[in-house]
Amino acid sequence: MLNPDGVYLGNYRCSLMGFDLNRHWQEPSIWAHPTLYAVKQLIVQLSQDPKIGLEFYIDVHAHSTMMNGFMYGNVFEEEERVQRQAVFPRLLCQNAADFSFSNTSFNRDVVKAGTGRRFLGGLLDDTSYCYTLEVSFYSYMTSASTSPVPYTEDTYMKLGRNVACTFLDYYRHNNFIDEIKQKIPTHINSMEVLSPGQQGNGNRDGRSSVGDRQAERKSLGIRGDN
């Protein structure tokens, strides 16, 4: 959380001093934007360390007007880099019924130049991927929905778990979940511990089947067993 003082006062966007922190990444002040300043210094340090591969930056925000979860990404001149950047949100859309790839967009709006996603997308090298993950304040729609479904603490947490599962897909470690499942005592409800959709036939929160994920990975040019 980069806005603890603002959140303490009930703000969700502005700091105690009234700054919209996600517009000051270019030149953060150690006095006025200390959290941004510290995190920016850390990211720069990590990106310059040859022993560390800094591959993902995901800034999580709530959205006050749109439904579902979706992402903002950056626009690049290299077509191959553009295609690679679309892989993670496409995989997330496969795993989470409340995530919308159709609402996901890639842009270079001038007004967004001071955001973490835009600034770090220009600062880090082409092996890094920078996104903003936006999630609706109030509701989402799925292919099976006939009306908006209100978000709850539980469904927000499910989306977070699906983001983690998508990293397993992305890095081709899908079997990791099955290995964990085998080690969990049977009296523990796996729905509370594992990623959603791993129990029974439900796929209740939209986590796709192995066959679906294999087809999607093949279409994206991603190889490796599930």
For 71-90, the pLDDT digits (tens) are 999 999 898 988 999 999 99
Q: Give the CA distances from residue 82 to residues 103, 108, 124, 137, in Å, rounded to whole numbers and listed in that order.
A: 17, 13, 15, 29
Question: Residues with catalytic annotation?
Answer: 134
How far out from the chain centre does Cα 40 lie?
Answer: 19
- Please give the model's pTM, rounded to 2 decimal places: 0.76
- Return the pLDDT at 205: 42
For 151-188, the pLDDT digits (tens) are 999 999 999 999 999 999 999 875 655 565 566 555 44
Q: In what order do the strands lie in the sheet with 69-74?
A: 56-63, 129-136, 69-74, 105-107
- Return the pLDDT at 178: 59
Q: What is the mean pLDDT of the chain?
A: 82
